[in-house]
Amino acid sequence: MKYAVVTFGCRVNQADSLGFEEQLLASGAQASSPQEADLIVVNSCSVTASADQGTRQTIRRMARDNPRAQIVVTGCYATRRPDEVGALPNVTRVVPNDDKPRLIQILKEKTAEDAGNAETNVFSASFAPSAVSSDGDGPCGATIQPGVAGRTAFTLRVHTGCAEHCSYCIIPTTRGASRSVSVDEILRQVERVALAGFKEIALTGVHLGSYGRDLQPASSLIELLRALDAGNRGLLFRISSLEPMDCTRAIVDLVATTDRFAPHFHLPLQHASNRLLAAMRRPYTIEYYSALVDEIRARVAGASIGSDIIVGFPGETDEDFELLVDYLERSPLTHIHVFPYSDRPGTRASAMTGKVSGLVVRERGRRVRDIGRVLADRFRASQVGTTHRALTLEDGSHAVTGNYLKVRIPPGRERNEWVRVRLTSHDDGELLRG
């Protein structure tokens, strides 16, 4: 059986999709393009209306290009609108997020149900009973290797769920309550990933900063990071998105004083108007955020600091937007993801008055993206002449630095090698000895 996994949205989805691929490989399936696959697993996102639309368009295109493929859809859009997703062409199964850890096991059970039906039983040759673990929690007998499906770093989910309920966000509804993986289990997974050959692991969670609060006994993100710091010395850990109130001084100090963690922070701001931050139910002020990123810039040499920004939130005035522009232009941020606001039915924001017109939202989004390009160029220019440990990508002609800069390097290296690189321009680096 040939399979393809198509992933939308956040790093948590990326981590979940890696798990699907490991289990499929363990079952004897072969990775393929969607055009050639017998089975396509779509891991959907629903953070915005455009994310929903992107999933629908992709499924329709894949069904048109490969009408014999069976399409299984999971993720947040599948959880939020299962009937809508199930009505799309070639979709044979919709698996909500709660059942996502058992997705491959569910397909195996479907195979048993379909036994004897030659037209629908495309999975039977690969899903032998011994090939997939009985609880569907993980791979059995095979693991994904660096370079499979274009991956060099491994994305490891350590947490899912969220209890924050920001007024614009549907994710607490689609992901459920906060649930953390135990420190001991994470350490076991890290060793397994290291043995598979990975040199970089991205730690991810829906609300990563709340890691461990639900465990018995309770733990915390800093405890997890310290345990990782004491472990396998050949690995670099990259901390994915952290809410500003969860990025503690202890975490900043750890990143500043050890080479085990990439000097890379992603801290969603969303807005620079305190009035709008309150309406969004974000538990910090622009003054708090500004002080935090200024401290990171002072403490962690060459750190990249990314952020998420929402434009066009209900009630956003010209004055609010200019506060955002003013802060971003003078901020130490190095890259920005811009999200035009869109209603998510069931959220508090969807019932708010003062909706901003689509034309204004698009123009504000364009202005912030332009600022983001200036910030990214400024950061790259500041790094010319600096030296970094970097991990080779693709065919060895590129490498990514700890502070998240992708640069061209001279040929001759394999993928997934540590190298020393001195940046010679915005986009290029020279290799150094040692």
pLDDT tens per residue across span 92-103: 999 999 999 889
- Phi-psi category of residue 254: left, alpha or beta, with phi > 0 → left and psi -120 to 50 → alpha: alpha
CATH code assigned at 73:
3.40.50.12160
CATH code assigned at 231:
3.30.750.210
Same domain (yes/no): 105, 165 = no
* b (16+ CB within 10 A) / e for 98-133: eebbebbbbbbebbeebeeeeeebbbbebbeeebbe
CA angle, 149 then 152 then 154, to 5°: 90
- Report the Cα 164 to chain-centroid distance in Å: 18
The domain boundary residue, chosen from 65, 85, 114: 114
Q: How far apart, in whole angstroms, are the C-alpha atoms of residue 397 and residue 337?
A: 27
**pLDDT (mean) for 138-157:** 68
What is the domain count for the chain? 3
Same domain (yes/no): 27, 110 = yes
Lowest-confidence pick of 54-68, 151-165, 376-390: 151-165
Same domain (yes/no): 156, 244 = yes
Query: Domain range for residue 401?
Result: 387-432
Q: How far apart, in whole angstroms, are the C-alpha atoms of residue 70 and residue 124?
A: 13
Within a domain: residue 381?
no
**pLDDT (mean) for 23-47:** 92
Same domain (yes/no): 109, 178 = no
pLDDT of residue 117: 53
pLDDT over 70 at 154, yes or no: yes
pLDDT of residue 148: 60
**Which among 76, 52, 151, 157 has a CA at the least distance from the CA of 391?**
151
The domain boundary residue, chosen from 114, 131, 163: 114
Within a domain: residue 340?
no
Within a domain: residue 8?
yes
Q: Do residues 331 and 293 touch, judged by C-beta distance below 8 A?
A: yes
Same domain (yes/no): 91, 158 = no
Same domain (yes/no): 6, 102 = yes
Within a domain: residue 379?
no
Same domain (yes/no): 6, 105 = yes
Same domain (yes/no): 43, 93 = yes
Q: How far apart, in whole angstroms, are the C-alpha atoms of residue 291 and residue 183?
A: 31
204-225 residue pLDDT tens: 999 999 999 999 999 999 999 9
* b (16+ CB within 10 A) / e for 23-45: bbbbbebeebebeebbbbbbbbb
Per-residue tokens: 91:
């979709």
Q: Do residues 242 and 289 touch, judged by C-beta distance below 8 A?
A: no
pLDDT over 50 at 132, yes or no: no
Same domain (yes/no): 166, 257 = yes
pLDDT band of residue 143 (cuts 50, 70, 90) is low
The domain boundary residue, chosen from 86, 114, 142: 114
Same domain (yes/no): 103, 172 = no
**Which among 348, 206, 342, 223 has a CA at the least distance from the CA of 268?**
206
Within a domain: residue 315?
no
Per-residue tokens: 253:
């100090």
Higher-confidence residue: 123 or 431? 431
pLDDT of residue 134: 29
Q: pTM for this one?
A: 0.86
Within a domain: residue 338?
no
Distances, alpha carbon 249 to alpha carbons 211, 244, 256, 266, 299, in Å: 16, 11, 10, 15, 10
53-95 residue pLDDT tens: 999 999 999 999 999 999 999 999 999 999 999 999 999 999 9
Within a domain: residue 146?
no
**Which among 119, 141, 264 has a CA at the least distance from the CA of 202?**
264
Within a domain: residue 236?
yes
**pLDDT (mean) for 98-122:** 70
